Amino acid sequence: MYHVYLLRSKISYRKFYIGFTSRKINERIKDHNYGAVGATKLYRPWSLIYLETYVSESDARKREKMLKQYGSSLGQLKKRLFDTLNKD
């Protein structure tokens, strides 16, 4: 299984990270929170707010690329997560 996920920084709620992994999602989040990922080290700790799981690696990579490259895709996802993103 392949995962595309969205993390949100717990110290700066405006910081998000979109990632891809074939590992167990809990292990990957630990990597982010322990500082093992350079791109997310500065805004630790992170919390998982969204996860998509795919059987196909190529489908998962396409989705990650779409979310990272096209602001409208991420914007639509944020609209779907309105209550989650605004509960604090």
DSSP secondary structure string for all residues of 7-75: EEESS-TT-EEEEEESS-HHHHHHHHHHT-SGGGGGG--EEEEEEEEES-HHHHHHHHHHHHH-HHHHH
Compute the C-alpha angle 31/45/10, nearest 5°: 145
Q: What is the pTM of this model?
A: 0.92
Q: Give per-10-residue mean pLDDT for the chain (88 aa).
A: 97 93 97 95 96 98 95 92 85
Sketch out the chain's domains with CATH numbers. 2-85 (3.40.1440)
| pLDDT score, position 37 | 94
Quick one: DSSP state of residue 86?
T
| pLDDT score, position 87 | 77
